[in-house]
Structure 1
Amino acid sequence: MGEDVEAGLTAALASLRGGDRAAASAHLAPLLGRDPDACLRETGPLVALAEELSAATKWRTAHLAYSLLVEAGHRDQEWIAGRVAERAALQDDFIARFHDTAALERLGAFLAQATGHPVASLATARMRPGLIGMALFRHDIAFADGAAPLSVVEKVMRSDKRDMRRVRAEALLFDNIDAERLMAPRHFGVLVDGPFTSTFQAFFDGAPLPLDRWMATHDELLYRYWAQVPPASLEKGPSLVPVFLDRLRDLVAKVVPPAVEPHLRHYSLDDVALILARRHDHLAELLQRMPLFVFHDDMHCGNILVGAEGGMTIIDWDNWALAPIGTGWRFYATDDALPEPDPARIGWARTLPPEATGYNMMRMAALWGWHKALRDSKPELAARWLEKLVRHA
């Protein structure tokens, strides 16, 4: 994947920006192996090419592919185009540090301190990168003192304000709560190196959770996390309570994305604002009284790894928050009514206040569903959760 790909994408983008969509498609067709008419109409082929380029640390070329998609009218690709542009600016520096420098030279002293054992050798392999982290590396460590070998995963992010906030939050979490309690890999710390920041976790040899096991597994995980009292030392960590309060205030003021309104079935926006204005103070007080838990804010099948013998671990804890119990409940459900969570399944493990009823937990679930659907640009799902929120208000 060399200069011909970059030249073809560059020519296609220039043609598209010049108003010649047919010429742009003609440039793309040999690169994508597709009929020219489909090259810009469908996102899949260009996204696949962009991800392949990203995996090869060709971020500048990958950015051309995402820019083509945005220029062609696929606005849902704007956020990843922006992320890849940030990576592209660091491409040469990244290659110099993470490919041209031996891993032992770069990490030997850090890993020795993090593990408590002198490092004799590192066998390093690049893993498929995610959309958020810049890269993932697996390091198989051999120790000079005869300690058992260890495999760790290094997740590389930027040292900018946004990513550092996530890194610091993850460090705060694992400095104050045992990884085992969260079913998470052991955390080995953070290394800041110029424009890059790496976090290190124990490697778990597992495959993503099968999709047909998602609902049952996710419910069980929520009950497990709901049952745990977070330590007081996490009080200054990120919290969803202020976020939910802001969402309520916006709804009372009828600040709602226009794409949501056509999907409302049972209430108008005037109804929503009126009902939530009447119930605002009660809901705000309830939010402050509901018990909190440590919420994994990016739970999906890819972050739930299952080992060959059935063991499970939950990865990617750089996006967590303290959240009211009920948050996370059955987000993708589109039914008007949902079964309420069962407080008895939590109460055996932690003492719940009177406010922690199944009905109140559904209120928290609805606040979360509304927030997440907006954040994920899912207007139809947002409308369903908004009507659940109004119904439970």
Structure 2
Amino acid sequence: MTRDEARALDAADPLRRLRERFALPEGVIYLDGNSLGALPRATPARMAETVEREWGEGLIRSWNDAGWIDAPTRVAAKIAPLIGAKPDEVVVADSTSVNLYKLLMAALAARPGRRVIVTEPGNFPTDLYMAQGIAAGGQVEVRTAPRDRIIEAIDETVAVVMLTHVHYRTAEMFDMAAVTTAAQGAGALMLWDLSHSAGAVPVDLGAANADLAVGCGYKYLNGGPGAPAFLYVAERHQALLTSPLTGWMGHAAPFEFGDDYAPCPTMRRWLCGTPPILGLAALEAGLATFDGVDPTALYAKGQALADLFVAEVEAKCPGLTLASPRERTQRGSHISFAHTDGFPVMAALIARGVIGDFRGPDLLRFGFTPLYTSFEEVWRAADILADLLASGAWDDERYRARGKVT
């Protein structure tokens, strides 16, 4: 493809004006929204409003007057359509790691006599670490199986299956409905991590009959660094499952200040401590970037961007090997290529103004966020990468010695 042809795709793109909702630095091609979403233009003003008026002037009154107390469920209701959930099946709380702990422990308690958590090796580290931490007490076992043998690993000893819908390294995507059906057929609960899915690929928890899910707010949802996460519990399980972290905000009547815990009958039972209002304000502004956007069109553009990048890189960059599924229905919204010197190549590429990231041992990873990424940017990124590889400019001690590539 020529650069002019890429520009023509942008001119015909019905989503092109969504880019105006973001503050993107000049001279940078940002292909890492799958790690940290770009800053929405509305966020600074929303944060200022929260700090200066709601906190500064309203003080404690803003828990009621500014709706702070309802923020975890109000913001969750805006996430629900992006993941195929009902508004009353989602709540925003804590981090993805903490939410994984809550749901794993709740699932184990709901399946007495079963002591196994099934997952895959190479799952996102925090998912594995949380499961391993639970198993460290000696009463629970973590069983890993390659993704093509996950279903075989689910038997009558399994309480919960925990998998990431879109793999963080390769973008390979599970068939959510098929795996969920298999887990439930063996009597286990199914827990999905949607951190690399929500806001990027179609997710329909309801149609898949999913049991449980978690996801983060700072990647495709554009909530800012460390944004609060979300968790999902299917309506049919809500009366049965209770959070193991029985903090005061999860109480049925937190402001009665009773000594004994009684769980809230709604999704608020999954709250623990006081909601992080500044983080929730930023996340709410991030979710507003999806207003009026057709999720199907969003996904189609993301995959078209990825297809273009794969075609250009394979045409121009010998020495790189595609490490993501070629078929768009089998992948999320990022693409990884393997290179034996991936770390210095990515460091040099970032120095040239193309921001992707590196995942060891050898993967160059590029995210395609259709809300703000253009076809011309993708074309230029592949061209700059080709020039970098051809010139050997990456083979420099400055890039090899750099401490971290995100």
* TM-score range for the pair, normalised by the shorter chain length: under 0.3
Normalising by structure 1, report the TM-score.
Answer: 0.25
The higher radius of gyration belongs to 1
1 or 2, which has the higher helix percentage?
A: 1
Tell me which of the two structures has the higher relative contact order, counting C-alpha pairs closer than 8 angstroms and 6 or more residues apart.
Answer: 2
